[in-house]
Amino acid sequence: MTAAGNISPENIRHLELADIKAFFKEHGEPAFRATQVYEWLWKKSAHSFDEMSNLSKATREKLKEHFVLNAVEIDLMQKSKDGTIKNAFRLFDGKKVEGVLIPAENRMTACVSSQVGCSLECKFCATGKLKRERNLGADEIYDEVVYIQRQAMEHFKMPLSNIVYMGMGEPLLNYSNVLGSIEKITSPEGLNLSPQRITLSTAGVAKMIKKLGDDEVKFNLALSLHAATDEKRNQIMPINESNPLKEVAEALQYFYKKTGTQVTYEYIVFKDFNDTPQDAYHLAEFCKVIPSKVNLIEYNPIDEGRFQQTLPERLQMFVRFLRGRKIVVNVRHSRGKDIDAACGQLANKVIKEALLK
């Protein structure tokens, strides 16, 4: 609490530049101070007011008196034998999320979380076993990217080339903060990354997919599909019961009409569940909804999970079947399995233990 009116300090990164200008005007300081502060907050990614070296000590103390800067910190970093780096990020309130740097020959990809835990309870995902604690703020998501960007430069001498919102949580259930983070990441006043290098992955929240279309977003959209019939999808993704494939397909058509952006379908191929020729046929039929491509994903078993990775010959059958129907398909092999950083494994150990207490 502050002495002035017993009002708790406000998170300064929740303010727009105009708000900070108004603050300085109210305290008799020139407006350009606000521009300096804003640049420190976003372009320079300062995590404390003391880092703002072109401000006087008196000005920095005034900022401390009225504001907080709830910076994210790295609680634990693990590096896989394949180079993948997983971070357990500690938030200002002590809660934790995970973010991953995935290095490849020609790209550096950051996989970031948007929620502490998740409410969707997908049966094949470690995060799905956790309750949702809260949404991340735009500034917290931004910090994840900043840290992973620094790791890319420090460990691989390459900048980030891609960002995927595929970590913990459902991004479309934290809509305003996720889009706010993307706005700062892509802004010249922030990290100045291209929105076309950003992919948001959703389990299929139909009304929010339509909202993405209404907002005419410039980034890419991926749908975590994993089964192309309601019967099977209901078994592994409870969200499908309230957002059946027909409604999701209509939302995707609306999104494509508004944005002209093709969608990627993510499809984990599970042994003896969704890996038959009939399953491949249903997936090919769903691909007719809008221009799309398919990422077939290698499954990473989680503790006590009921699913297993499909056989190589069945995976290749899927590839041949889809390509035979002129569908663009890529096989995504998992990275970072030895540190539980692969797809579906986030929160498998450290975070799960913390959140389940």
Tell me which amino acid residue 22 is.
A
Catalytic residue among 39, 61, 98, 122: 98
Cα–Cα separations (whole angstroms), residue 113 to 218, 242, 347 = 20, 23, 11
Contacting residues for 282 by C-beta, under 8 A, at least 6 apart: 228, 229
Which stretches of 80-127 are assigned E, i.e. beta strand?
A: 85-90, 96-103, 108-111, 115-116
Per the annotation, the verdict on 98 as an active-site residue is yes
DSSP of 158-192: ----EEEE-SSS-GGGGHHHHHHHHHHHHSTTTT-
CA pair distance 335, 109, nearest whole angstrom: 11
Tell me which amino acid residue 96 is.
K
Cα–Cα separations (whole angstroms), residue 53 to 23, 25, 61, 150 = 19, 21, 12, 21
**What 3-state class would DSSP assign to 341?**
coil
CA pair distance 264, 127, nearest whole angstrom: 22
Per the annotation, the verdict on 170 as an active-site residue is no
CA pair distance 298, 270, nearest whole angstrom: 8
Q: In b/e form, how buried is each residue of 178-205, taking b as 16+ CB within 10 angstroms?
A: bbbbbebbbeeebbebeeebbbbbbbbb
CA pair distance 126, 128, nearest whole angstrom: 5
Catalytic residue among 111, 118, 125, 343: 343
Catalytically active residues are 98, 343
